[in-house]
Amino acid sequence: MGAAAAAPRCPLDTRRRECGGVGPFDLTGYGFDLYAPRVADIEKRGNYTPRRVREQRAYRLVVTGGVAGAVFVVSLVLSIIGAISGTIPVIALIVAVVCLVLFRRTVGGR
């Protein structure tokens, strides 16, 4: 009648709560307590853009720059003839040059 409840039998490397561990994810004693603080503040690469996104951006810049170049040539001819003013070819040339610069920066080496 006076027998005390027997303590659960616990292996030496247990993680069970009834044996003094904190649960199934207590990794102390396995070397993780020294490793985790150093790994905890790893950040994602700062200026990383995935390849697919860069490909899509380069494609859009090529299409836009090509259209702007075609608009430049056609509007230049029309402005020489006198059918339109000279501002449209200038704007188209500016757009084409900006697309060229952005395209080279997109596909350029890192």
Looking at residue 50, what is its pLDDT?
87
Does this model's pTM top 0.85?
no
Looking at residue 93, what is its pLDDT?
96
The ranges assigned to domains in the chain are 51-107
Q: Backbone dihedral region of 82: left (phi > 0), alpha (psi from -120 to 50 degrees) or beta?
A: left
Report the C-alpha dihedral over residues 100, 101, 102, 106, rounded to 10 degrees: 100
Looking at residue 91, what is its pLDDT?
96
